[in-house]
């Protein structure tokens, strides 16, 4: 029997995204982004995002079906982001998904956006992910996780105490005048800079922090340090500031991720979420993991930032593991914790 075909819908933030996956094979991945409509506000405006999702939903589903050369009748289950995210934006996706599931008479999986970021890894590998430490770094979340089976449970080892890593990129980009979203802008600008030009602070890496909060992050001190530096240095060198700031974030993320591997005795690291698209994080992770004998997995850059394939991938893993779907009236939950993989009631 051939693998089930899953259609996944993602609308937690500013991307209306639909992916279609068969087993572990990606058939289609279509993204309509409203990012340009938010750029002049310097961040995502929830009301604008919800309206853009409404307009883009049907064309995006239709394009995904065309790209994958399957019809709605071929779809075996629907997966949709149930949270965390902007509630108005989530509701557009969950309404479309429940409508489809009811119309087709197929099961629905209301899944966790963060677990979906991690699950997209399944599309690049034939075999299930073994026990791994996962570094999840996005615009809204930064956590270190321990995962044995992504369809059954996730344990959180640590998380950010203030800003998420992507949020820090976005805020510093704004004060540097590099635009929104900040991550890609800083990544590009840093290419011409010296990462050692300015010694910015590495949050929660003092000896006492390693004793009490070894796997937590804090980026607010770094943010303040960069803002002060910019104020005190009117003719600052953009590329050097971007490279040094990026280095401080990436260094701490990897120090803590590799410490988690060592402490848990797990020699596998998966990095996921929008910030995992960062070129310096990818390069330094591969150097340091090689040195430490840790196997590294990072999804290809376009599957790190928000997409529908990741939602379909988690739905597909759930179906392959024989997990039950959600009740048709499950509720989108804006603050869904990373440890809740899917809504079962």
Q: Which residues bind ligand KG4 (CB under 6 A)?
A: 13, 138-140, 166-167, 169-170, 181-184, 187, 273-275, 277-278, 305-306
Stretch that binds Zn ion, among 138-146, 214-222, 289-297, 325-333 (CB under 5 A): 138-146
Nearer to Zn ion, 113 or 297 (CB): 113
Q: How far is the CB of 25 from ligand KG4 (least distance, A)?
A: 23
By the 10 Å C-beta count (0-12 exposed, 13-18 middle, 19+ buried), 91 is classed as middle
Q: How far is the CB of 226 from ligand KG4 (least distance, A)?
A: 15
Secondary structure (DSSP) of 37-99: HHHTTTS--HHHHHHHHHHHHHHHHHHHHHHHT--GGG--EEEEEEESS-HHHHHHHHHHHHH
Among 138, 151, 160, 326, binds Zn ion (CB under 5 A): 138
Would you count residue 170 as binding Zn ion (CB under 5 A)? no
Distance, CA of 133 to CA of 130 (rounded, Å): 10
Stretch of 170-178, 204-212, 300-308, 334-342 contacting Zn ion, by CB under 5 A: 300-308
**Of these partners, Zn ion, ligand KG4, none, which one is at the site of residue 107 (CB under 5 to 8 Å by kind)?**
none
| Residue 93 contact partner, candidates ligand KG4, Zn ion, none, CB within 5 to 8 A by sort of partner | none
Cα dihedral sign, 149-153-156-159: positive
Stretch that binds Zn ion, among 1-9, 25-33, 82-90, 132-140 (CB under 5 A): 132-140
Give me the residues paired with residue 334 across strands: none
Helix, coil or strand: residue 173: helix
Identify whether 181 is preceded by a cis peptide bond (ω within 30 of 0). Answer: yes
- Backbone φ and ψ for 16, nearest 5 degrees, come out as -95, 110
Of 5 and 80, nearer to Zn ion (C-beta) is 80
Instruction: Using the minimum distance from each CB to ligand KG4, give the nearer residue, 115 or 294.
Output: 115
Dihedral, CA atoms, 140, 145, 150, 151, nearest 10 degrees? -80
- How many residues of this chain interact with Zn ion, rule: CB under 5 A? 2
Counted residue by residue, the chain has a size of 345
Q: How far is the CB of 157 from ligand KG4 (least distance, A)?
A: 20
306 binds Zn ion (CB under 5 A): yes
């Amino acid at each position: 029997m051939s693998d089930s075909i899953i259609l996944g819908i993602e609308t937690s933030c500013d991307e209306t995204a639909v992916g279609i996956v068969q087993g572990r094979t990606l058939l289609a991945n279509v993204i309509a982004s409203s990012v340009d409509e938010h750029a002049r506000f310097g961040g995502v405006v929830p009301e604008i995002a919800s309206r853009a999702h409404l307009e883009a939903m049907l064309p995006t589903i239709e394009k995904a079906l065309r790209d994958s050369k399957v019809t709605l009748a071929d779809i075996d289950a629907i997966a949709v982001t149930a949270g965390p995210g902007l509630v108005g934006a989530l509701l557009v996706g969950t309404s479309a998904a429940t409508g489809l599931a009811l119309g087709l008479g197929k099961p629905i999986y209301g899944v966790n956006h963060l677990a979906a970021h991690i699950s997209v890894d399944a599309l690049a590998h034939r075999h299930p992910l073994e026990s791994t430490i996962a570094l999840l770094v996005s615009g809204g979340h930064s956590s270190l996780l321990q995962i044995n089976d992504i369809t059954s449970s996730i344990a959180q080892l640590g998380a950010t105490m203030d800003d998420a890593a992507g949020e820090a990129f976005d805020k510093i980009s704004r004060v540097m005048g590099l635009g929104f979203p900040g991550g890609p802008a800083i990544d590009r600008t840093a290419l011409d800079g010296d990462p050692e030009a300015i010694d910015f602070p590495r949050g929660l890496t003092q000896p006492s922090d390693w004793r009490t909060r070894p796997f937590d992050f804090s980026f607010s001190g770094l943010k303040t340090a960069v803002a002060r530096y910019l104020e005190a240095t009117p003719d600052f060198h953009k590329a050097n500031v971007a490279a040094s700031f990026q280095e401080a974030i990436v260094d701490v993320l990897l120090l803590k991720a590799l410490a988690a591997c060592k402490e848990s005795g797990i020699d596998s690291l998966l990095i996921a979420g929008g910030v995992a698209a960062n070129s310096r994080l990818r390069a330094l992770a591969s150097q340091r993991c090689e040195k430490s004998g840790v196997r590294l997995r990072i999804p290809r850059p376009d599957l790190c930032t928000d997409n529908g394939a990741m939602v379909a991938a988690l739905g597909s893993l759930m179906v392959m593991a024989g997990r039950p779907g959600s009740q048709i009236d499950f509720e989108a939950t804006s603050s869904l914790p990373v440890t809740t993989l899917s809504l079962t009631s």
